Amino acid sequence: MKNCGGFVKFEPNDVFHNVVKTYPENEFFVYDSKIYYNHRSQQSGSFTGSVPCVAPGHINLHELNVDRNPTGVDPKLIYPFVYKSSDMDAFRAVTVDSFFSTYAYGDIISGSYPMSASIVRKHFASGMSSSAEVTGSALKNSFNHYKYLSSHYAYSSSVLGHNKETQTSTLISIPSIFYGSSIKKGTVELSYYITGTLVGKLQDKNRNGELIQVEPAASNGSGNVAGVVLYNEGFIHLTGTWDLYADGGSKTTLDYNNSVTNVNSSWIYFAAGANDGIPQSTHGADSRASASYELLFSGTNYVPTVTMLAHAPIGKFNHSNNLTYLEYNQTAALTPETGNYRYIERDLNIKNVVSSAYVDPTGSFEKTTYISKIGIYDEDRNLIGLASLAKPVKKTQDRDFTFKLKLDI
């Protein structure tokens, strides 16, 4: 810590390292192949149609390239780059063969920003083993790991009569940037709407990963398990196939698969259109635009924090190099007197800011400063942080203060 007269070293009892456990809340709303995150709508800027430079429902990592035009002959976008050298520095996407064959020493190896993330839905019509992108074997160990919580996690179960390799299902992937270390148990909620009417709601109310249909009361499938949550991995696996919606006693089918065949509304079609390649539908009575979906959950995030106590003791921090600390119109005194045999610095008068009931004279002189900023320096005296006070604090010689500085890393 530095004041205008020098540096003050933090003592061992002045610096504390802690970890704060937080539970960030997340909400995704899906309607007609569009995703909305935490009620954020698309914002147009001065140079682009999307201020965050990502599509609605996505977040921009580090919020780079805000309100920058990503198209045109000369797009003004920030991008990462390194020079090829013997240090072998390159981006993860650059292969070893490409590093040696494509780039010469001294060439620029560049990447691209922004990096964005959102939820992704994958439908398995013939089981998880039918997909080349996410195979059943890739998640088999993860499913079986949670069997101690519920038998519904079992990859294959003769008791429940299912095999995830052949079972029709839907997998919703949630990037870890939304939940941190894991999804908090007991906070997952999925709501299914048809023409604005709630036809089904799932909750992991038992905190064991089972997604149980809890609403509407006495509805078809009420109390049944429609899927499970992989808390640490960020996946929601839905297997409920019962019909959720009956309009006036007759079944209403919708075109969830972007085909000519309509199907019953069930949990395996939840979040249809969420980055799964299904385009916006033609609005009509039987189009999937009649359906909308809401996903709620809280994450578990650990934030390392540093708390520093900066002390301003009695009799210190009462001098300033700010020119307003001195009386006005002492320009001549600022220039030292020099000669062959002498060097004299003139005395400068400190401005008396002590208030008085009278216009003139002022009150008895007392050295007074106002602390507005606190600088944090490393061992080499490089400024690494600056704390600004919301309101300057008056410091007189008979006052002592302790400022609590908190930094989230």
Express each pLDDT in 227-281 by its tens digit.
999 999 999 999 999 999 765 555 678 888 877 678 889 999 999 999 988 888 7
Q: Cβ distance 309 to 48 under 8 Å?
A: no
pTM: 0.78
CB atoms within 10 A of CB 362: 13
Statement to judge: residues 260 and 307 lie in one domain: no
Q: Is residue 56 part of a domain?
A: no
Looking at the structure, tell me whether residues 273 and 396 fall in a common domain: no
Counting the structural domains of the chain, the total is 2
- Please say which residue of 268, 302, 336 terminates a domain: 302
Q: Are residues 263 and 228 in the same domain?
A: yes
pLDDT band at 359 (very low <50, low <70, confident <90, very high): low
Structure tokens of 224? 């049944």
Q: Which of 302, 329, 354 is the last residue of a domain?
A: 302
In this structure, is residue 111 part of a structural domain? no
Alpha-carbon distances, residue 73 vs 69, 77, 321 (angstroms)? 10, 12, 50
Q: What is the pLDDT of residue 131?
A: 55
Q: Is the pLDDT of residue 155 over 60?
A: yes
Q: Range with the lowest mean pLDDT among 2-16, 20-34, 54-68, 366-380? A: 2-16
What share of the chain has pLDDT > 70, as a percent? Answer: 89
Co-location of 270 and 232 in the same domain:
yes
- Check residue 297 and give its pLDDT: 98
Q: Vertex 189, ends 185 and 194: CA angle to 5°? A: 170
Average per-residue pLDDT for the chain: 86
Q: State the residue range of the domain holding 341.
A: 2-13+303-408
- How far apart are alpha carbons 286 and 33 in whole angstroms? 16
> Beta 156-157 vs 162-163: how paired, if at all?
antiparallel
Same domain, 185 and 212: yes
Does 229 map to a domain?
yes
Do 283 and 315 reside in the same domain of the chain? no
CA dihedral 202, 25, 184, 306 (to 10 degrees): 180
The token duo for 50 is 């999307």
Residue 158, judged by CB atoms within 10 A of its CB (0-12, 13-18, 19+), counts as exposed
Please give the pLDDT value at position 2. Answer: 47
CB 317 within 8 A of CB 3: yes
Phi, psi at residue 23, to the nearest 5°?
A: -130, 80
Kindly state whether residues 224 and 125 are assigned to the same domain.
yes
Of residues 5 and 290, which shows the higher confidence score?
290
Both 243 and 311 in a single domain? no
Co-location of 202 and 317 in the same domain: no
Phi, psi of 135 (to 5 degrees): -85, 160
Are 261 and 338 found together in one domain?
Answer: no
Same domain, 239 and 275: yes
Residue 197 CA to residue 199 CA, distance in Å, equals 6
Q: Give me Rg for the CA atoms of the chain.
A: 32
Task: Verify that 298 and 309 share a domain, yes or no.
Answer: no
Per the DSSP assignment, residues forming a β-bridge with 298 are 25
Q: Which of 260, 275, 302 is the endpoint of a domain?
A: 302
